[in-house]
Amino acid sequence: MYDRIKGFRDFYPGEMAARRATIDTLEDTARGYGFREIDTPALERAEMWTDKSGDDIVDELYAFEDQGGRHVTLTPELTPTVARMVVAKQQELSKPIKWFSTRPFWRYEQVQQGRQREFYQTNVDIFGSSEPEADAEILAWAADAMTSLGLTGEHFEFRISHRDILGGVLESYDAEVDTEDAIRAVDKSDKLSTAEYHDLLIGAGLTADQAVEFDDLIAGGDLEEVREFANTERVDAAVDNLQNVLAAADDFGAREFCTISLETARGLDYYTGVVFECFDSAGEVSRSIFGGGRYDDLIESFGGQPTPAVGVAPGHATLPLLLQRAGVWPEEAVTTDYYVLQIGDTRTEAARIARDLRERGHVVETDVAGRSFGSQLNYADSINAETVVIAGEQDLANDEVTIKDMASGDQLQVPFESFPGEHERPTLADFE
C-alpha cells in the first residue's frame, strides 16, 4: 500500500459533494456580479516569486528544474499569475476586468488545522478601477456568497482597515521606522503577547512609549482620532477612502458585516489600500477564514501599465470549518434521482428509460454488474436513490414497469410506454 503524501488530501464522493455545493455557490454568486471565469496553469516560472521575495522563498515552494532547464514551481498563489495575464493582453481587455477562478495551489509549509500543502481557493478580482465602489463590490460579493451558504451576521464578520492609515500613523512619528516591518508586526499581533508585539514594534524603530501609544491608538479603531493624531495628508486620504468604501458597502448591502479593525493589516507587502479579513464571529475558528484587499501597484511591477486592482480569495480548507461550526455545511452524501433496476434480460428497455430520464436532466443509475434483485435494491438505497424503476421480464411482458418510492416503500405498476412520458420528474404520485 502507498501512503498519501502529508499535506495532500483525498476527497471521497460524500465530502466532494459538499465541497462541490460550496464551490458552486461561490462561483454562481460571482457570475451574478458579472465576474468571468478564467483558468490558469499549475506551473509557472519560479522567478515570478524569487525576483520579488528573494531566493529564500524557494524553501516554501514546490520548485524544481524541468527538463528544459527552466526553474519552475507549482503555483503557491494566483495573484502573480493573473497579473501576468493582465499584462499580456492589457490593451485588449475591457476595463474593469472582473475575473474569478477556483483551483488548487501548493506551498511547502507546516500542516495544521485549516492549512494544507495543497489547498484550493476561489479567487475573485477586479482590475482597472480605483473607485470605492470596486472595493465595496468585492465585499458585497463575499457577503452574498457567505449568506448564500447559509451563514448570517451571527456567524462571520469582515474586519476592515486601510494600509495607508497604518503607514501614515507610523510615518508621523519622529523616528526612523521600518514601516513594512511594523505593519507585519500589526498583522501578527493577535498571535503574540502584548510584550512580544511591542518588542516587534520597537525593533521596527518605535520607542517603547511610542509602541504603547501606537498600540492603544490602533486598537481603539476611532478613525477621527487617528486622523487628528497623525495630521497628515496620507492619513486624511486613507480615512476618507475607507469611509467611502464603507458607505458604498452600505448601499451594496454589505456594511452590516463590516467592523473597522485597524489591527487588520494583511502581511503581504503588495497590499496598498483597503484590506479586510473574514473571521468567525464566535471565535471558534482560531484563524481568519479568508482575506483580501487592494493591490494597486502589482500590475505595474510585472511590467504593465499602472492598473488599480482589488480582490479576495476564500480558501476551501478554512471555509468548511466555519460552515461546519455554524451547522450549514452541506450534507456529505451522494444523491440519485432514479435507479433503474433490471430483472432478467431487460437491458434494452431499462436503457431506454434511463436515457429518457437523463435527457430530462436527472441523475440516473442502472445495473452494470449483473447483480441480483436484492443486491440492486440495496445499492439503490446506498446511493440515496429517490425512486427505483423496476424493469422486470414479467412486468414487461404485460407492457408495464414498477415504480417504487424509496422513502415510503410504496410502489405502483405503470404502462411501460407511459414512463416517463410527459412528466419532467415522474414520481409515484403522478400515476396514482
Q: Binding site annotation covers 173?
A: no
The structure's pTM equals 0.91
Q: What are phi and psi of 78, to 5 degrees?
A: -95, -30
Q: Binding site annotation covers 107?
A: yes
Compute CA distances 226 → 168, 196, 232, 262, 353, whole Å: 10, 24, 10, 10, 70
In one-letter notation, the amino acid at residue 215 is D
Q: Binding site annotation covers 250?
A: no
Compute CA distances 111 → 5, 116, 189, 275, 287, whole Å: 11, 5, 22, 26, 14
Q: Binding site annotation covers 73?
A: no
pLDDT tier, 268 (very low <50, low <70, confident <90, very high otherwise): low
Domains and CATH numbers, the chain: 13-326 (3.30.930.10), 336-430 (3.40.50.800)
Q: Binding site annotation covers 210?
A: no
Kindly tell me if the per-residue pLDDT of 23 is higher than 90.
Answer: yes
Q: Binding site annotation covers 78?
A: yes
272-307 pLDDT per residue, tens: 999 999 999 888 887 889 999 999 998 998 889 999
In the sheet where 156-162 sits, what is the strand order? 36-37, 97-106, 118-127, 309-312, 290-294, 274-280, 156-162, 258-260
Instruction: For residues 50-77, give the mean pLDDT.
Output: 92
Q: Binding site annotation covers 266?
A: yes
Cell numbers placing 210: 511610542
158-171 pLDDT per residue, tens: 999 999 999 899 98
106-158 pLDDT per residue, tens: 999 888 877 899 999 999 999 999 999 999 999 999 999 999 999 999 999 99
